[in-house]
Structure 1
Amino acid sequence: MRLRPITTLLAAGTALCAMPALAQEAPAENVLDGDYLTVGAGAVYVPSYRGSDDYVLSPVPLVKGRFKGIDINPRVAGVALDLVPDAKDAKVGFSLGPVATYSANRAGRIKDPVVRAAGKLDPAIDVGFTAGVTGYKLLNDYDALTLSADVKWDVNGAHKGMTVNPAISYATPLSPALVAVVAVSARHVDGKFGRYYYSVTPEQSVASSLPVYRGKSGWDSVNTSLLLAYDLSGDVRDGGFSLFGAANYSRMLNDAKDTPYTSLRGDANQWVIGGGVAYTF
């Protein structure tokens, strides 16, 4: 599994299954070698909007798998496909495919009454492509280092802009049952995105008493994340139930930090903590 902020949390899970299978005392059948499906559900404690200092509990689904050589990788409220299969013994692998996500940032569940008075925003559906390169067996026989990026455009008429999310993640097993993923990522947004989410228009200023502000393009956040997954049978290769937990810290930058929604009503330091259960077959 691979990680992005929430705008990336459970997506980190994709690097776990991209790793070569553990070799010692392998089970008779490794379910991750062929077609498989992992489904899961969990909950995350997240800011009520990006930049908020109020937190809410939200459910999070998880879907991960492989079918006919196509990898299905989770994104936060979305999915990505990898159409380039790696050889089983590859030292370097590549990924390329479509990605789609749904964002309800400031579309509901806004706890701050001042920000709520500024009005809700429309949900965004972002569609684009993801690409990456992975190096295997770097520090041990089973680890993986992935460099990747998602490039997406809103097709739902919300922000109508483009985002670019580069990321680097490192996955390694700590035992046959326990796998860890650490990741660092960032996000660059264009002017349409910046104006939609970070501006305070004159109308919004009258409604909320926040000062007028105009958002622009630029890097709006950097993130670091940790994900742990533990297989309840004691071996990740035989499928069945597993538990996962994750934590993500995001620092908002530039207009995402300076907008009154963050600087006056919220906090540039953003935390996400969550966990859940998954089943692989």
Structure 2
Amino acid sequence: MITRKHTAAFASLLSSAALLVAIPVQAQDAQEAGSPEAMPERNFDPGVLGGDFLTVGVGGAFTPSYTGSDDYVLSVLPVALGNIGGVQITPRAAGLRVDFIENPSEGIGLDLGVSARLRNNRAEDIEDEVVIQYGELDRAVEVGPSVGISIPGVLIPVDTLSFSTDVMFDVAGAHEGTVISPSVSYTTPLSRGIIANLSFNAEWADESFQDYYFRVDPLNTLVPDDDALPAYEPDGSGFTSVGVNLLMGFDLDGDATNGGFGVILLGGYSRLVGDAANTPFTTIRGSKDQFLAAIGLTYTFGL
């Protein structure tokens, strides 16, 4: 099934790809030279990525049909990211982040901005015939501050280690709760046209969120007795998942600094924990293990 739902995986994919902006992609010269002294300096010409630019893309991702599902669907998503006047725009899971602080040319960079996302969990296209009988939920619109730091030159002069946290609040009146999403990401170029990103992430949610998505009412007259799930009352606030993603980005002409077309591949795994793992929506009808696979085509140009 092709849907416009479950876009978190591909948005995360392009968000990681946006880190290409923050690090020079001239590792190939160092690889060819084969010595530490030949490692590239950080002051080379970054081309279109050194000024205002925009990247537009479209891709597809296989993701679970809801959090905890073992049914997978194909999602299609257009995404845009860029740097305009020192303001960096990057995708977030089913949303975006706007960073208002421009990173310095050298040293640790501070990220401070606003993140927003649309949460469609169990809002439409539920694949499981039992879960769907418990009804669709409302879409949540989550907005809040995003903070982080970027540390360049961790292992080689052109890599970056990033730490970030988004704190978002539902402003649409769905779960009416708070979600905190910390992440750690390491990005390094493998050549002038290839970049790799390894990221670790987690999600914490408050009691209101957990109750809205993971509670199972003790009685639902619309559900046949044979299909009814056992009642479940969440314990309260806590972590919902931990995960890891590996992204590979390939510039199709071998030089990311001149813009143009690129291809991005992503594979990811997350493990549900706490109430997200213990709800019957997961234990009986789904799985704690959540996988994703995605591919995207992008085009980058200077402004």
1:16, distance to aligned residue in structure 2 (A): 2.2
Instruction: Output the TM-score relative to the length of structure 1.
Output: 0.93
Please tell me whether residue 256 in structure 1 is matched to residue 276 in structure 2: yes
1:151 aligns with one of 139, 147, 167? 167
1:45, distance to aligned residue in structure 2 (A): 0.3
Deviations 1:239-270 (A, max 9, x none): 00000010110100011000000000000000
1:202, distance to aligned residue in structure 2 (A): 3.2
Q: Is the CA contact 1:205–1:211 (under 8 Å) kept in the aligned structure 2? A: no
CA radius of gyration, larger in: 2
Q: Is the CA contact 1:176–1:234 (under 8 Å) kept in the aligned structure 2? A: yes
1:193 aligns with one of 187, 193, 209? 209
> Which amino acid in 1 is paired with 2:241?
S
**RMSD, aligned CA:** 2.0
CA–CA distance in 2 between the matches of 1:147 and 1:29?
A: 23
> Which amino acid in 2 is paired with 1:210?
L
Which residues in structure 2 correspond to 1:1-281 (within 5 Å)? 8-20=12-24, 22=26, 30-88=47-105, 90-204=106-220, 207=223, 209-215=228-234, 216-281=236-301
Q: How many residues align?
A: 277
Q: 1:41 to 1:100 in 2, by over 3 A?
A: same
Q: Is the CA contact 1:200–1:212 (under 8 Å) kept in the aligned structure 2? A: yes
1:235, distance to aligned residue in structure 2 (A): 0.6
Q: Is the CA contact 1:119–1:204 (under 8 Å) kept in the aligned structure 2? A: no
Q: Is the CA contact 2:11–2:95 (under 8 Å) kept in the aligned structure 1? A: no
1:62, distance to aligned residue in structure 2 (A): 2.2
Instruction: Output the TM-score relative to the length of structure 2.
Output: 0.87
Q: 1:174 to 1:23 in 2, by over 3 A?
A: closer
Q: Is the CA contact 1:10–1:76 (under 8 Å) kept in the aligned structure 2? A: no
CA–CA distance in 2 between the matches of 1:261 and 1:206?
A: 16
CA–CA distance in 1 between the matches of 2:237 and 2:210?
A: 5
Q: 1:24 to 1:52 in 2, by over 3 A?
A: closer
CA–CA distance in 2 between the matches of 1:33 and 1:103?
A: 33
Deviations 1:157-183 (A, max 9, x none): 110000000000000000101000000
> Which amino acid in 2 is paired with 1:63?
A
CA–CA distance in 2 between the matches of 1:65 and 1:57?
A: 26
1:10, distance to aligned residue in structure 2 (A): 3.5
1:64, distance to aligned residue in structure 2 (A): 1.2
1:80, distance to aligned residue in structure 2 (A): 0.3
Q: 1:234 to 1:66 in 2, by over 3 A?
A: same
Q: 1:113 to 1:13 in 2, by over 3 A?
A: same
Give the gaps of 5 or more residues in structure 1: none
Q: Is the CA contact 1:179–1:229 (under 8 Å) kept in the aligned structure 2? A: yes
1:49, distance to aligned residue in structure 2 (A): 0.4
Q: 1:204 to 1:176 in 2, by over 3 A?
A: farther
